[in-house]
Amino acid sequence: MAIDWKKNADGLIPAIVQDADSSVVLMLAYMNAESYEKTLKEGKVTFYSRSRKSLWTKGETSGNFLELISMVEDCDGDTLLVKARPKGPTCHTGSDTCFNETNQPKMDFLYYLENVIQNRKKNPVEGSYTNKLFDKGINKIAQKVGEEAVEIVIEAKDDNAELFLGEAADLMYHYLVLLTAKGFALDDVIKVLEGRHPKK
């Protein structure tokens, strides 16, 4: 569907900016055909300022640019969803977003932990428990995941939340080590789950 720039008399349409990695909504501004084309050409998100009546590239004064990843129009062709990677805080107040939210996905630490594990595999650290697991090989890692799975099942039968969550954390950690040892990542598993999810 083509963008309907003529739907409004001023030729402007709302542009919702979303972090391409975290999916957090960063801001809302307006674009016209000229700012849209400039964004596509230069790869930095550019808007039309209704107060100054001119184009403005986000970050042109602060350096906190929005690196364009993709743009797609909605079903009516009169609103844009802009996915971008922010190079610093998005809001002029210094906040991550213009809605005063922290730009941090809920899964952020899990991906951070996965990155640490992957880095241990590529760059071993002496004395690292993770490296000791990798050194023992895939069979030992798989066995450890099995042991942790049994332990969480046992704790699930009791009412000690602290012990249950501790075993859940142990299982998650060793599961990530196993994924890394097999050459896979969380995103590979997520793709399988998405494929199984019924489409509405």
Q: What is the pLDDT of residue 2?
A: 85
- Does position 108 have pLDDT exceeding 80, yes or no? no
Both 72 and 121 in one domain: the answer is no
Which backbone phi and psi does 87 adopt, to 5 degrees? -100, 60
CATH of residue 75's domain is 3.10.20.810
Structural tokens at position 128: 């690292």
Confidence of residue 200 (pLDDT cuts 50, 70, 90): low
Opening angle at CA 49, ends 69 and 62, nearest 5: 65
| Shared domain check, 149 and 77 | no
2 domain-assigned = no
Task: Based on the fold, state whether residues 116 and 67 are members of the same structural domain.
Answer: no
pLDDT exceeds 70 at position 199: no
Domain boundaries, position 25: 13-86
Whole-angstrom CA distances from 173 to 54, 56, 103, 170 are 51, 45, 24, 5
- Residue-level pLDDT at 144: 97
Number of domains in the chain: 2
Examine the domain organization and report whether 70 and 133 are in the same domain: no
**Structure-token pair, residue 84:** 């971008």
pLDDT for 185 beyond 90: yes
Q: Are 34 and 42 in contact (CB under 8 A)?
A: no
CA-CA distance, 34 to 25, in Å (whole number)? 23
| SS3 assignment, position 127 | coil
Q: What pLDDT band is residue 70 in, cutting at 50, 70 and 90?
A: very high
